[in-house]
Amino acid sequence: MNTPVQKETAAGLKTNLGLILEENLKLAEQLDFDQIALLLPYIQHAERIFLIGAGRSGLALRSAAMRLMHFGLTVFVAGETTTPAIRKGDLLIAASGSGTTSTIVKAAEKAVAAGAVVIAMSTTADSPLAALSALTLILPAAQKQDHGKTISAQYAGSLFEQAVLLLNDAIFQTLWAADGTPAEELWKRHANLE
């Protein structure tokens, strides 16, 4: 039996999910897909791919790392104990809404010093991370400290973090469609120690 409070909560959930989906569709309309397409050759030609992000952006990139691994690429998440040193021929994909997150910028500096290529996912092309990057993919979302709700009504950097997740899934789908490897072959790489 639904109480008035449950009905109100259910209505709020539906409204908020609609808001999140609407904001992501609006953001998608603003993306420069010609610019984003420039990332794919970097992924395809990298010897190894490293991904780094802090907080929820980092979690979104972990998801991307899993899909790229399924695709058969050699992928590492920076900061894991089994992640090797980055070197020339490698690619670092770094996500930071502000482009100023100190750990992300420091990792990009080390990658560049080692001869690796850095690609940034950010809300701005005017940042220390962008300056270190061969390519900066602009996701026009609110930064964490943008509390004015002019770009997003969601909390903190939620829209940016969601966009990182969704864009990386679109990148994977595009790579997979071009390659044509059957899903059954990709599945053989799926974790089996779960």
Q: Average of pLDDT values for 146-150?
A: 69
Distance (Å, whole) CA 100 – CA 87: 23
Q: Average of pLDDT values for 63-72?
A: 95
Confidence check: pLDDT of 114 > 80: yes
Q: Which residues contact 193 (CB under 8 A, 6 or more apart)?
A: none
Q: Provide the pLDDT for residue 147.
A: 61
DSSP summary character for residue 75: E
Q: Average of pLDDT values for 39-50?
A: 98
Q: Provide the pLDDT for residue 3.
A: 87
Counting Cβ atoms within 10 Å, is residue 2 exposed (0-12), middle (13-18) or buried (19+)?
exposed
Q: How confident is the model at residue 148 (pLDDT cuts 50, 70, 90)?
A: low
Closest CA to 140 of 35, 50, 40: 35
More confident position, 17 or 143: 17
- Write a three-state SS string for 38-51: CHHHHHHHCCCEEE
SS3 label, residue 120? strand
Residue from 23, 29, 47, 161 carrying the catalytic annotation: 161
Lowest mean pLDDT among 2-11, 48-57, 161-170, 172-181: 2-11
Confidence check: pLDDT of 1 > 70: no
**Domain 4-187: CATH superfamily, name plus number:** Glucose-6-phosphate isomerase like protein; domain 1 (3.40.50.10490)
Q: Domain ranges in the chain?
A: 4-187
Q: Provide the pLDDT for residue 142.
A: 75
Q: Which residues contact 138 (CB under 8 A, 6 or more apart)?
A: 31, 32, 35, 122, 123, 124, 125
Q: Known catalytic residue: 161?
A: yes
Q: How confident is the model at residue 108 (pLDDT cuts 50, 70, 90)?
A: very high
Closest CA to 168 of 91, 73, 64: 64
Instruction: Tell me the percentage of the chain whose pLDDT exceeds 70.
Output: 96
Confidence check: pLDDT of 143 > 80: no
